[in-house]
Structure 1
């Protein structure tokens, strides 16, 4: 139902580093940067696999922080996401593992991005 969403990034360079690594682990990448002349000088970038589904926009920290969960194709991708996001400046908010209180096959990992947003990768496949 959601076509795209995004978050503000108080330090665009740090956020780009974080999301570059996190999305690479999930088979995605930065697909687009909007030219500054179209944004009033604000940095804006879109990430995804086939189209920009997730956007970061230079701006103040959002309050309260948001939670966004990205679909992973396997539990190994969830593990890779967590490792990459942590190495790129993320903060642990829940190591990879099963979360049977959500669903018996719910395997997820939670990392806070540089602005404190709760970013998750989740796989619903039994493995």
Structure 2
């Protein structure tokens, strides 16, 4: 449904380094660097995807109020790696990895405040049942 989104950051170099480290844990890499803006997208590019990426950061006054952005993780280990990488890159803990049954019974997520105070999240929606075996 959403093709791309982005945020404004106060220091493009600092935020590029932060997001490059953090988003690598969920399979995203910088795809297009314009100097004052960077597009991030999946490592494996689907030919139907925008080659510039789905998530953008741009040098400008940050949004007020700050946005919340959730990145999909493939499993709980990616959520944990995202949280650890974000803290190591200078982010602030805003919710350690764990289940969030308030959202749904199988919502596993972690939350971090980025260098500009945006609340970023990695989330894995655990299936209630293992996938059915192929017939």
State the TM-score, normalizing by the size of structure 1. Answer: 0.90
Match of 2:113 in 1: 112
Q: Point out 4+ residue stretches in structure 1 off by more than 3 angstroms.
A: none
SS in structure 1 of the partner of residue 95 of structure 2: coil
In 2, Cα distance between equivalents of 1:122 and 1:76: 11
1:28 is displaced (CA, Å) by 1.1
List aligned pairs for 1:13-52, cutoff 5 A.
13-34=13-34, 43-49=36-42, 50=45, 51=51, 52=53
RMSD: 1.3
State the TM-score, normalizing by the size of structure 2. Answer: 0.85
Q: Are positions 1:69 and 2:70 aligned together? A: yes
Q: List per-residue Cα deviations over 1:16-36 (Å, max 9, x = no partner).
A: 1110111111111111112x5
Q: Which runs of 5+ in 2 are unaligned?
A: 46-50, 129-135
1:102 is displaced (CA, Å) by 0.5
User: Which has the higher relative contact order, 1 or 2, with Cα contacts under 8 A spaced 6 or more apart?
Assistant: 1
Q: Which runs of 5+ in 1 are unaligned?
A: 37-42
> Greater strand percent: which structure?
2
Count the aligned residue pairs. Answer: 120
SS in structure 1 of the partner of residue 96 of structure 2: coil
Q: Tell me which structure has the larger Cα radius of gyration.
A: 2
1:115 is displaced (CA, Å) by 0.5
Deviates more, 1:75-84 or 1:21-30: 21-30
